[in-house]
């Protein structure tokens, strides 16, 4: 996969499932990340072709739950992100999924407690055998491992989303490496793609919250009304039998940003117990809800 001059959908837990990835791609995303999947869970999965949906499902043995779902339409675009604290296990997980995705990514940045407590995500940045104190030196060391690209989120572990992203520090990383660097942080409008490129010197940009709130941020002609984007997300969630918890979480995030969960729509989403309920709420009953 080529990583230069790309617009990238960032990995987002409970959001980056197949319907949202396809939605972002439809609006112009060149590369779409799936949500982080823990290696422990993936190694317990079997690969199955879902004839009803035309998808490839990685199904957890014992529970029957779909851990990761993909399809041919995104095979050359989707990046599978692994949460791991063990190189051998990470390799085993990557081997399971690598033939069905465009690339595999190791999460070394998530500051959430569920990642860090398991020795994953940002916790990897504290291990003396994996990091030098200086961020640029770390990036150089990662480059030497043979990775083909490095995504850099312009925040420290202790920073919160409300804190400004440190674009200047991303620029220092870009200047020190020869591999493509994907800049991430504070991209909320299409114009921000060019602004962060100029500020950091990178040619590729990753966006998370800006895409979550309105996935049409990737459209060069400008955003579509968020109501239209939301309904298209609902349609795709139904067509691809998306997990109801994931669907509700994504809708709640959209609604919280643009409206309020205290209004009728927000309350109805919270009360929904199935995709059938979601279909009725958004007038999408004409789309068949496929239940496996």
User: pLDDT tens for residues 189-227?
Assistant: 999 999 999 999 999 999 999 999 999 999 999 999 999
125 within a domain of the structure (yes/no): yes
**pLDDT at 156 > cutoff 80:** no
pLDDT at 158: 73
292 within a domain of the structure (yes/no): no
**Same-domain status, 203 and 244:** no
| Residue after which a domain boundary falls, among 223, 246, 270 | 223
pLDDT at 132: 36
**Same-domain status, 162 and 246:** no
Least confident of 112-116, 137-141, 158-162: 112-116
1 within a domain of the structure (yes/no): no
**Same-domain status, 238 and 216:** no
**pLDDT at 228 > cutoff 80:** yes
pLDDT at 217: 98
61 within a domain of the structure (yes/no): yes
Exposure class string for 40-68: b at 16+ Cβ within 10 A, else e = ebbebbeeeebeebebbbbbeeeeeebbb
Span 68-124, pLDDT tens digits? 999 999 999 999 999 887 888 889 999 999 999 999 998 875 445 444 444 444 444
**Same-domain status, 247 and 148:** no
Kindly indicate the confidence band of residue 130, based on its pLDDT and cuts at 50, 70 and 90.
very low
Contact 45, 63 (CB under 8 A): no
| Residue after which a domain boundary falls, among 223, 255, 272 | 223
Gap between the Cα atoms of 144 and 138, Å rounded: 10
CATH number, domain at 136? 3.20.20.70
Specify the 3-state DSSP secondary structure of 184.
Answer: strand
Count up the domains in the chain and report the number. 2
287 within a domain of the structure (yes/no): no
Percent of the chain exceeding pLDDT 70 equals 89
pLDDT at 288: 61
Kindly indicate the confidence band of residue 24, based on its pLDDT and cuts at 50, 70 and 90.
very high
pLDDT at 292: 55
pLDDT at 283: 87
Which sequence positions are flagged as catalytic? Answer: 110
Kindly indicate the confidence band of residue 136, based on its pLDDT and cuts at 50, 70 and 90.
confident
Report CA torsion sign: 127, 129, 133, 136. Answer: negative
191 within a domain of the structure (yes/no): yes
24 within a domain of the structure (yes/no): yes
**Same-domain status, 54 and 177:** yes
| Residue after which a domain boundary falls, among 223, 245, 263 | 223
**8-22, 79-93, 123-137 — most confident range:** 8-22
**pLDDT at 247 > cutoff 60:** yes
**Same-domain status, 234 and 126:** no
**Same-domain status, 167 and 213:** yes
**Same-domain status, 215 and 273:** no
The whole-chain average pLDDT of the chain stands at 89
**Same-domain status, 175 and 30:** yes
Domain that holds residue 87: 7-223
216 within a domain of the structure (yes/no): yes
The two structure tokens encoding residue 27: 């609006």
Average pLDDT over residues 138-148: 88
The two structure tokens encoding residue 186: 């504070």
pLDDT at 265: 97
Average pLDDT over residues 150-161: 81
**Same-domain status, 198 and 268:** no
Gap between the Cα atoms of 89 and 107, Å rounded: 14
**Same-domain status, 171 and 190:** yes
**Same-domain status, 185 and 268:** no
Contact 218, 29 (CB under 8 A): yes
């Amino acid at each position: 996969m080529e990583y230069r001059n790309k617009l990238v959908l960032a990995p987002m837990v409970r959001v980056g499932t197949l319907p949202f990835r396809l939605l972002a791609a439809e609006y112009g995303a060149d590369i779409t990340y799936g949500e982080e999947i823990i290696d422990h869970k993936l190694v317990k999965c079997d690969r199955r072709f879902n004839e009803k949906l035309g998808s490839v499902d990685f199904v957890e043995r014992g529970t029957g739950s779909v851990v990761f779902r993909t399809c041919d339409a995104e095979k050359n675009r989707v990046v599978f992100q692994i949460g791991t604290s063990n190189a051998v296990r990470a390799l085993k997980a990557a081997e399971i999924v690598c033939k069905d995705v465009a690339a595999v990514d190791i999460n070394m940045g998530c500051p959430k407690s569920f990642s860090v407590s398991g020795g994953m995500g940002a916790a990897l940045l504290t291990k003396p055998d994996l990091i030098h104190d200086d961020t640029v030196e770390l990036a150089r060391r990662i480059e030497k491992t043979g990775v083909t690209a490095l995504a850099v989120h312009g925040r420290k572990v202790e920073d919160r989303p409300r804190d400004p992203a440190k674009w200047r520090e991303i620029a220092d990383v870009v200047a020190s490496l020869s591999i493509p660097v994907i800049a991430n942080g504070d991209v909320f409008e299409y114009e921000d793609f060019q602004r962060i490129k100029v500020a950091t010197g990178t040619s590729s940009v990753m966006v998370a919250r800006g895409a979550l709130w309105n996935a049409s941020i990737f459209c060069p002609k400008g955003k579509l009304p968020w109501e239209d984007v939301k309904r298209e997300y609902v349609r795709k969630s139904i067509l691809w039998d998306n997990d109801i918890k994931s669907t509700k979480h994504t809708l709640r995030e959209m609604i919280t940003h643009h409206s309020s969960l205290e209004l009728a729509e927000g309350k109805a989403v919270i009360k929904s117990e199935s995709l059938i309920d979601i279909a009725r709420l958004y007038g999408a009953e004409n789309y068949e809800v496929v239940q496996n």
